[in-house]
Amino acid sequence: MPGDKVEINETHLAKARAVFPRLWELLTPILQASPQRRAVVAVHGGSGVGKSEIGSLLAYGLNAVGVGAYVLSGDNYPRRIPAANDAERLRVFRAGGLRGLATSGEYDATVQAVLSDLQRDGADADPSRVAAHSWMATYLRAGSIALDAYLGSAAEVDFDEINAILAAFHGGADSLVLKRMGRSADQIWYERLDFSGVQVIVLEWTHGNSTLLGGVDLPILLNSTPEETLAHRRSRARDGGVDSPFTTLVLKLEQAKLQAGASRAKIIVAKSADLLDYPEYLHQMGADLPGAGPMLNLYPDSLGGTLAEIADFVAGPAAGVFESAYLLPSVFNTDLDRGFSVIDYGLNRWFATPADLDRLAEAGVDLKLDFILNHASVLSPQFQDLLAKGADSDYRDFFVDWNKFWAGHGELTEAGYVQPDPALIADMFFRKPGLPILMVRFPDGTEHPYWNTFYQQVRYPVFEAEDLLAATGLQYQGAAVLAERLNQVIAEGGRPGEADFAGLESAREAAIDLAESRRRYLGQMDLNIESELVWDFYAETLDKLAGYGARIVRLDAFAYAPKQPGARNFLNDPGTWDLLAKVKQLADARGLILLPEIHASFAEGTYAQLSELGFMTYDFFAPGLIIDAFESRDASTLKRWIAEVVTAKIRTVNMLGCHDGIPLLDLKGLLSEERIKALIEVVVARGGYVKDLHGAKNVYYQVNATYFSALGESESRLLLARAIQLFLPGKPQVWYLDLFAGPNDHDAVARAGEGGHKEINRSNLSAEAVADGLTRPVVASQLELLRFRRDFPAFGFDAECEVADTAADRLAITWRRAGAAATLDVDLVAETFTIRAVDAIGREFNFG
């Protein structure tokens, strides 16, 4: 910063000694590849971390080994002089806060008078004032959003000028005109310097890793916490109000920006002078866990029709309620299964735009997004390339070639596929009847079987006489008869070769070849995880999800991906765990947290195995256990499960309802068969549908119903269930239809036809329905509880949770953290609850 002195101490020397060998290792090939043999190294980090000192030491070291280096301070390129810097930031914050109050309708003469006093006292960025003035929450939120958009932006920093300097340097300029700046308006000047002997610019600057900055070859992050930054600012004593709430807010926002860009840094240095890789950095910063605040779960068209309306909801009536949003995969370019058949992971522009994602981020909402490891749509570019080029396709082995996989382990049939030895498939898990294969026609007319675990459909067009004339050599009348016969057999679900060719035998081969060449497919094709191209695809997809703002990535269908002759080919051991470990390495490098999704009984212990391997896991037990506690007036099993999660430190995402219904298979080992069947009967009697396990009769899997209907459409029960969920360990996920107390939609099931049972719980809500829902007390009360769960400091993955030893029909859960405590007391007989909470400075929250 202009006006600062560079005072080098042993801490700086230790960091420079640690960095220099790695810097030299990375810098050498960069210089060799540069036409001008030049490079830019950016030393960045928070205020007081030692950027100037370490930048100077690194430049000294480079000069000592014969590489000319120059230290350039980015702090000479703000839009305004440093003395006015904090004043402008404060103006932006206050203007944003006022706009937020005006937009929300909370601004009036009383608010104006109180706010004026707070601003005069420098207390309007103090979050503790919310307890006395509820409208301060809106002011702080809106002001913080405006300030965050300003900090490090082109409005604050002249990136154009410094980018031009770096571009000229890379272009080989022998001299550069650099800006100099003191701390007042009369201390600005320019100076031309000789750069003919300079090979490396060491740019020291907080914004040295900004995406608005071009020309940086090697960013180095010097890590510091906001507390360390604040201590340094105190030691300099150059800024007024160094301990003010506003300064604390600025440091918090700057730290978040540094953390968001940390994955781009080539070298990360800890305060201890240790070099960190990115996962180690996240762990040190406590960022390897997601926030424990509520997560809204919905399709991109669930509320109002597009993601734009969802952004309106979370920034408007639900402002400050949700920390995260789980957007189901129809947000991507998909074709089947409401999104779970992905063509590619580009945004579905019918529902979502990049601007919508930006608005969610501005509202403080990060994302959970799906990644389907096992399969991709037949419409994916990779499969379409295979159809177009056949054996010449680069993606020939991107998918699982059935015959190659089973080579030597079965007999080739007349139909062209290998029938595996019976012993090798005796224990294999099948999602559907028959072998999981799709016969794929190559351009040369040959047929090749590919592994297809999930849905498939083969379709043919409707043929006209004109289609057959040239191909068959028939006259028009004969072609018309043959077209009619082909269309008839296809309409009945047959193949072209099964048509009646009586009297038209000469056209049989040509007609079948033409019909099969026009064959079209729907479905999901299994990916070959032995292919390097698949792993390239995995990495590219994770990059894309991270770019969208994902914090958590849900891994769908991962248990089907590892395959081996003779294995069950579902949750293979150790293949499944090897796959997850490899994907986790990719995710860790991108700051993503993986959430593998799998339904398995409690007795199998899969949830515990995932947790022991360092993964988050779904709490698929809570939804059924809460209903069971209501029906039996006995929370004993629920208490035991909570105690296990706490004791084993299992990091969960919990829920009531979701897009897939209420899980029941998972309860085996927690509840007796009799209690599970009684639970099924209760929910079915209230309008639900039982889904069997992948078509296996009498093997229950889940009940499809809205959670509200499963509770007997009792608003008081729904609110009680929500309160219990919010006090469970983990991150609470909220299905949008539960939030709005939505009943079963039997009409949607009827419209969907066979297999449409899931639609009972997936009804989209119009903008009018959302507005009407917000007037209902049960919705308003849930939003109040969710906002409390997000904001109150007693909760978190690092908090203490205690389940009291109470009678079976009572439940008491207490959370403690940072001097705050919150207790939920439940009476299952009366079906009532109370919440009593107080934080470290005495602010209270009471409900019920």
Q: Which residues are catalytic?
A: 556, 597
What contacts 24+ positions apart, CB below 8 Å, involve 798-806? Answer: 798/286, 798/289, 799/292, 801/642, 801/646, 801/729, 802/646, 803/639, 803/642, 803/643, 803/646
Pairing of strands 324-327, 295-298: parallel
User: DSSP letter at 776?
Assistant: S
668 and 676 Cβ atoms separated by less than 8 Å: yes
Written as six digits, the tokens of 144 are 């913080």
Distance, in Å, from the CA atom of 95 to the CA atom of 153, rounded to the nearest integer, reads 17
SS3 assignment, position 560: helix
Written as six digits, the tokens of 586 are 């990719």
Distance, in Å, from the CA atom of 730 to the CA atom of 719, rounded to the nearest integer, reads 19
User: DSSP letter at 671?
Assistant: B
Extended strands (E) in 373-429:
375-377, 410-412, 418-420
Q: Which residue's entry shows tokens 């420098």?
A: 122
Closest CA to 555 of 406, 373, 310, 349: 373
Q: How many CB atoms lie within 10 A of CB 571?
A: 19
User: DSSP letter at 244?
Assistant: S
Dihedral, CA atoms, 474, 478, 480, 484, nearest 10 degrees? -120
Written as six digits, the tokens of 277 are 């890789």
Tell me the longest C-alpha to C-alpha distance in the chain: 101
| DSSP structure string for 162-222 | HHHHHHHHHTT-SEEEEEEE-SSTT-EEEEEEE-TT--EEEEE-TTTT-TT----SEEEEE
Phi, psi of 335 (to 5 degrees): -130, -30
Handedness of CA 723, 729, 735, 736 (dihedral sign): positive
Distance, in Å, from the CA atom of 745 to the CA atom of 166, rounded to the nearest integer, reads 61
Helical (H) or strand (E) element with 381: helix 381-389
Distance, in Å, from the CA atom of 785 to the CA atom of 847, rounded to the nearest integer, reads 8
Helical (H) or strand (E) element with 459: strand 456-459
Q: Which residue's entry shows tokens 């590489």?
A: 67
345 and 541 Cβ atoms separated by less than 8 Å: yes
Distance, in Å, from the CA atom of 846 to the CA atom of 835, rounded to the nearest integer, reads 5
| DSSP structure string for 422-454 | HHHHTT---SSSS-SEEEEE-TTS-EEEEE--S
Written as six digits, the tokens of 126 are 């103090």
203 and 41 Cβ atoms separated by less than 8 Å: yes
Q: Please give the order of strands across the beta sheet that includes 662-663.
A: 662-663, 696-704, 689-693
Closest CA to 370 of 594, 171, 180: 594
Give CA separation, 317 vs 188, 364, 783, in Å: 48, 14, 9
Written as six digits, the tokens of 385 are 């390339």
Residue 669, sorted as left (phi over 0), alpha (psi -120 to 50) or beta, turns out to be left
Distance, in Å, from the CA atom of 196 to the CA atom of 70, rounded to the nearest integer, reads 11
Distance, in Å, from the CA atom of 49 to the CA atom of 62, rounded to the nearest integer, reads 21
Helical (H) or strand (E) element with 56: helix 51-64
Closest CA to 768 of 314, 304, 313: 304
What contacts 24+ positions apart, CB below 8 Å, involve 411-414? Answer: none
Written as six digits, the tokens of 393 are 């396709």
